[in-house]
């Protein structure tokens, strides 16, 4: 669909919301198997983490839809699961059960921040140019993820990144899917993204049959259409397995802070970016101009983090891939409800996820990046004290592979530049508070 459909103010039909929910699920379902693949390296059982991932995604996406009434999926966060595995458990030698306890207490801390005036101060302190930049930066990040999932963009020792060979059938299939979905979107075909995912999946069927397993190996993982059965029993062994007392020792507070503040900034930046992309702002009252139902959305994310520790996974957070559903026309909580319900059957049907390869959802992610670029035109690029912090936020999100890093350096550079050029009045008290959190996040994350 054209870019300006993201900002359409007309109420979408129920059919549109359902299609948007399905699209969002297809773009986020990878977490059902990717999250266990990462966390199982700590010694946690793969099946237990998979079950925890599905439960968290189902309940918290439903809460986002029913309580916060936003079209945003909540699931265990990428990056947060890597921090859990490689920094907390493997790097610091923390037992996985203790790390799960730290996740729970991080959720409690996040909840306290969400309930107090701190959250309001943070939101009001975000300068408008940074909001525009974060939305566009998230779009570029989503695009990068799409290109990476398709292995169109690959590592290159000489230039850091490069483009894959067009002789690779996987890359050719992705290009086919990208061009096909682009045409459907431009022609404003209803359900264009789902149609594109379906047809790209069908196009991927011959790869393994006619080009052998080498293509799957080149892709880095077996993400081609690869039927592995239908049913697998859920594993509830991690429910309540966290160590609440052991995780409160003083040496673990940096880990708790790192989880809490990283999740806080990830969530906040996602809400800002999605609100800007879909024009999802409160229109009246004291919260006019803020992302829609931000208080309820933040509380949902806080609950997701605390619940993650209880069910046995890394912190839950709002997903930037929710922009796929918004691009499909989703504007209400029904989108999140539908997406959340799509997770639940995979307590028993997780092997079916192998049917839809990552190259089938990659074109949708790339196109969503284009849809989210429009706000960057609202930045006054002639006003350098506004433009430079916005630029840093915009480029650091994809370049650092972290929404949090882009937001942190956008905030800090805004404050330093404004003070240095004699415009301290453009740095409100709330932004100084945000800067303090940014510094805490930087310290806690290292």
pLDDT tens by residue, 303-356: 999 999 999 999 999 998 888 888 888 999 999 999 999 999 999 987 776 677
| DSSP secondary structure of 54-89 | HHHHHHHHHHIIIII--S--EEEPTTHHHIIIIIII
Cα separation values, 272 from 20, 217, 303, 414, Å: 20, 38, 19, 17
Task: Could you list the beta-strand ranges (E) of 306-392.
Answer: 316-318
pLDDT in tens, 229-284: 678 889 999 999 999 999 998 878 878 887 887 787 778 878 887 887 778 888 87
pLDDT at 212 (0 to 100): 45
**DSSP three-state, residue 236:** coil
To 5 degrees, how large is the angle CA 30–CA 394–CA 276? 75
pLDDT of residue 97: 96
At residue 216, the pLDDT reads 43
**Core vs surface per residue 38-59: b (16+ CB within 10 A) or e:** bbbbbebbebbbbbbbbbbbbb
SS3 38: helix
Higher pLDDT, 173 or 227: 173
* pLDDT score of 208: 52
Q: Tell me, what's the pLDDT at 227? A: 60
Backbone angles phi, psi at 153, to 5 degrees: -100, 125
| pLDDT (0 to 100) of residue 397 | 86
The pLDDT assigned to 5 comes to 41
Which secondary structure element, helix H or strand E, spans residue 439, and what is its range? helix 429-444
List Cβ neighbours of 202 (8 Å cut-off, separation of 6 or more): none
CA-atom Rg of the chain in angstroms? 21
Return the pLDDT at 220: 39
Average pLDDT over residues 109-124: 73
Contact 331, 280 (CB under 8 A): yes
Strand partners, 317: 75
Locate 27 and state its tokens: 């773009």
CA distance 319 to 278: 15
Residue 199 pLDDT greater than 50, yes or no: yes
* pLDDT tens digits, one per residue of 359-374: 887 888 888 788 778 7
Tokens of residue 111, six digits? 């909840």
At residue 7, does pLDDT exceed 50? Answer: no
Distance CA 201, CA 368 (A): 19
pTM beyond cutoff 0.85: no
Whole-number pLDDT of residue 118: 67
User: And the tokens for 1?
Assistant: 């669909």
Report the pLDDT averaged over residues 97-102: 96
Note the pLDDT of residue 253. Answer: 84
Residue ranges of alpha helices (H) inside 126-285 are: 128-149, 169-186, 192-211, 214-219, 253-278
The pLDDT-based confidence of 169 (bands split at 50, 70, 90) is: confident
């Amino acid at each position: 669909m054209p870019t300006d459909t993201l900002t359409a103010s007309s109420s979408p039909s129920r059919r549109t919301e359902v299609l948007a929910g399905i699209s969002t699920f297809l773009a986020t379902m990878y977490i059902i198997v990717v999250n266990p693949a990462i966390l199982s390296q700590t010694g946690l059982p793969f099946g237990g983490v998979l079950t925890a991932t599905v439960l968290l995604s189902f309940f918290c996406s439903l809460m986002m839809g029913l309580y916060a009434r936003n079209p945003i999926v909540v699931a265990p966060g990428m990056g947060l699961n890597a921090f859990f595995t490689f920094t907390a458990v493997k790097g610091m030698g923390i037992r996985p059960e203790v790390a799960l306890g730290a996740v729970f207490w991080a959720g409690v801390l996040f909840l306290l921040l969400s309930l107090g005036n701190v959250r309001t101060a943070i939101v009001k302190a975000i300068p408008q140019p940074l909001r525009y930049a974060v939305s566009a930066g998230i779009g570029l990040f989503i695009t990068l993820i799409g290109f990476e999932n398709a292995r169109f963009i690959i590592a290159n020792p000489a230039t850091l990144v490069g483009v894959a060979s067009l002789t690779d059938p996987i890359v050719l299939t992705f290009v086919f899917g990208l061009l096909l979905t682009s045409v459907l979107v431009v022609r404003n075909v209803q359900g264009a993204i789902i149609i594109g995912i379906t047809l790209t999946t069908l196009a991927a069927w011959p790869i393994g049959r006619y080009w052998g397993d080498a293509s799957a190996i080149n892709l880095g993982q077996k993400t081609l259409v690869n039927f592995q059965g239908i049913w697998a029993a859920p594993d509830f062994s991690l429910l309540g397995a966290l160590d609440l007392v052991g995780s409160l020792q003083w040496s673990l507070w940096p880990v708790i802070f790192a989880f809490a503040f990283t999740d806080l900034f990830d969530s906040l930046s996602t809400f800002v970016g999605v609100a800007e992309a879909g024009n999802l702002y409160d229109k009246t009252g004291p919260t006019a101009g803020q992302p829609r139902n931000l208080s309820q959305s933040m509380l949902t994310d806080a609950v997701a983090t605390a619940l993650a520790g209880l069910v046995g996974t890394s912190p839950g957070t709002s997903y930037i891939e929710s922009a796929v559903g918004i691009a499909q026309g989703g504007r209400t909580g029904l989108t999140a409800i539908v997406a959340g319900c799509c997770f639940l059957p995979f307590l028993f049907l997780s092997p079916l996820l192998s049917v839809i390869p990552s190259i089938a959802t990659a074109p949708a992610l790339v196109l969503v990046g284009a849809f989210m670029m429009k706000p960057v035109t609202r930045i006054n690029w002639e006003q350098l004290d506004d433009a430079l912090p916005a630029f840093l936020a915009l480029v650091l999100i994809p370049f650092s592979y972290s929404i949090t890093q882009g937001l942190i350096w956008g905030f800090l550079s805004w404050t330093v530049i404004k003070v240095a050029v004699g415009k301290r009045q453009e740095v409100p008290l709330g932004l100084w508070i945000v800067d303090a959190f940014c510094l805490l996040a930087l310290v806690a994350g290292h």
